[in-house]
């Protein structure tokens, strides 16, 4: 096994024990990146020389006995909405031509303090306003979409051109590409990870979180990221926590909610079957399965769009008026649509969100967590605009991909997506676990227990 193939946990252990140097690890990732990137286009910018300097510094610190922890010397990618001082934050848009960040975002600063090594900035759907990341190819099949908007981050992790990465999630933008590329994506509780220095799509829905190869890896990254920052008005004051999951797979006493409604409606049969098999595996580990009704399902789409669209338009108000032609057509249409929405529409969406949070809290008192598909279909072909379901109804690809992930953004509850198999075309399938606010440790424990029942996953090999 080459160093670039190692999970974060395995690489961290090897670096800590000085069986592998950060220089060897970073060189291996960069060499592999050079081979894979022309096919995948996961990166906006590759910071190779910076990464090599940082790896040498990490090697010297560790040799001198100053090991900072499990992220020290580990190569990472950051979604190009996340500020790193001196580098462009392009948001994969011509609108940001010539931009340079004056200071680090909170999450970039925390990862640097933990010793992580930046390999580069990864592609996003323009300003995170989409679910496909069209410039990036799926890690398993280059003719399929990567998912979005954190498509570059998910593809880099799945292909081994980053050991871990960060994404952002406003309606599913961490979990959707994680599911479509066969990796782990965690959208934390709203406010747990600060967003200072991260380009906003929709301030009341935006989250920052890790994309990794294993659940344990996600826990290692979350431990470094979480914590209060007064510069983010939504930042929580939760105490510092070690999120690493306990070993062992005993889930006795745990109540797992299985949705009777919504989450298995208009879902590809292969996706539904794989997720139900994974849920049965949780039962085999001792969990008790409880059927639950998902509340207010008819209002989910209207609430998501009713919040996101006007907030995004407000953020882009100046540039939409001064340089509208620099936006991609699909993003410009959405931004212009936001100008047509009334204050009353926005307030009704906020009221719906308040009611939805209350109803979800009631459901999560009946069970400890909910298990469901992350997305209703695997990665569609690049350029495909719609999905036709078995009953003949047609749904836009973006609507389909956001449909099952957006409830966690509206309510702010944490959601963990993890791989649970592949369809007959060899494309990955994801299951999401949703829990109560600040329930990350529980989700990571359950995800880790499930993961231990599966064979170790190799890297994606794009067709």
Helix-helix angle 22-40:48-63, to 10 degrees: 160
Among 121, 127, 13, 3, CA closest to 62: 13
Which residue do the tokens 């990341």 mark? 133
State the catalytic residue, choosing from 173, 200, 406, 415. Answer: 173
How far is residue 33's CA from residue 43's CA, in Å, rounded to a whole number?
10
State the catalytic residue, choosing from 90, 92, 105, 149. Answer: 149
Which residue do the tokens 């946990």 mark? 9
DSSP 356-416: HHHHHHHHHHHSSEEEEESSSS-PPBTT--EEE-TTS-EEEHHHHHHHTTHHHHHH---EE
Does residue 149 have an active-site annotation? Answer: yes
**Cβ-Cβ contacts under 8 Å for 210 (sequence gap 6 or more):** 164, 165, 166, 167, 184, 185, 186, 217, 218, 221, 222, 225
State the catalytic residue, choosing from 21, 28, 79, 405. Answer: 79
Asked whether the beta carbons of 368 and 442 are under 8 A apart, the reply is yes
The C-alpha torsion from 228 through 72 and 92 to 45, rounded to 10°, is 150
Residues annotated as catalytic (active site), given as ranges: 79, 149, 173
């Amino acid at each position: 096994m080459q160093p670039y193939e190692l999970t974060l946990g395995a690489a961290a252990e090897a670096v800590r024990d000085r069986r592998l140097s950060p220089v060897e690890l970073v060189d291996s990732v960069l060499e592999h990146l050079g081979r894979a990137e022309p096919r995948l286009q996961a990166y906006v910018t590759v910071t190779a020389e910076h990464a090599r300097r940082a790896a040498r510094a990490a090697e010297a610190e560790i040799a001198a006995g100053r090991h900072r922890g499990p992220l020290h010397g580990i190569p990472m990618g950051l979604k190009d909405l996340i500020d790193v001082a001196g580098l462009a934050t392009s948001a994969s848009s011509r609108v940001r031509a010539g931009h340079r960040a004056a200071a680090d975002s909170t999450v970039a600063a925390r990862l640097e303090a933990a010793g992580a090594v930046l390999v580069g900035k990864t592609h996003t759907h323009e300003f995170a306003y989409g679910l496909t990341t069209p410039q990036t190819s799926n890690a398993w099949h280059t003719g399929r979409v990567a998912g979005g908007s954190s498509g570059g981050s998910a593809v880099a992790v799945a292909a081994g051109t980053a050991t871990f990465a960060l994404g952002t999630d406003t309606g599913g933008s961490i979990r959707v590409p994680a599911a479509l590329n066969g990796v782990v994506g965690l959208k934390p509780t709203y406010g747990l990870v600060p967003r200072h220095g991260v380009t906003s799509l929709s301030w009341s829905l935006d989250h920052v979180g890790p994309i990794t190869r294993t659940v344990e890896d996600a826990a290692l990254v979350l431990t470094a990221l979480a914590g209060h920052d007064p510069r983010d008005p939504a930042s929580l004051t939760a105490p510092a926590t070690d999120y690493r999951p306990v070993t062992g797979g005993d889930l006795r006493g745990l109540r797992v909610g299985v949705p009777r409604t919504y989450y298995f409606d208009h879902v590809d049969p292969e996706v539904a079957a794989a997720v139900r098999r994974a849920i049965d595996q949780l039962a085999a580990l001792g969990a008790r399965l409880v059927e639950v009704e998902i509340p207010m399902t008819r209002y989910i789409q209207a609430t998501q769009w009713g919040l996101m669209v006007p907030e995004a338009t407000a953020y882009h108000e100046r540039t939409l008026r001064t340089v509208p032609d620099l936006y991609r057509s699909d993003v410009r249409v959405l931004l212009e649509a936001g100008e047509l929405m009334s204050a009353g529409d926005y307030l009704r969406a906020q009221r719906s969100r308040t009611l939805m949070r209350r109803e979800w809290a009631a459901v999560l008192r009946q069970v400890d967590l909910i298990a469901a598909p992350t997305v209703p279909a695997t990665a569609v072909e690049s350029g495909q605009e719609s999905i036709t379901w078995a009953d003949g109804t047609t749904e836009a690809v973006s609507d389909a991909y956001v449909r099952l992930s957006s409830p966690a953004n509206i309510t702010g509850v944490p959601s963990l997506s993890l791989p649970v198999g592949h369809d007959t075309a060899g494309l990955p399938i994801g299951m999401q676990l949703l829990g109560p606010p600040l329930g990350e440790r529980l989700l990571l424990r359950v995800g880790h227990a499930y993961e231990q029942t599966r064979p170790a996953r190799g890297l994606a090999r794009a067709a």
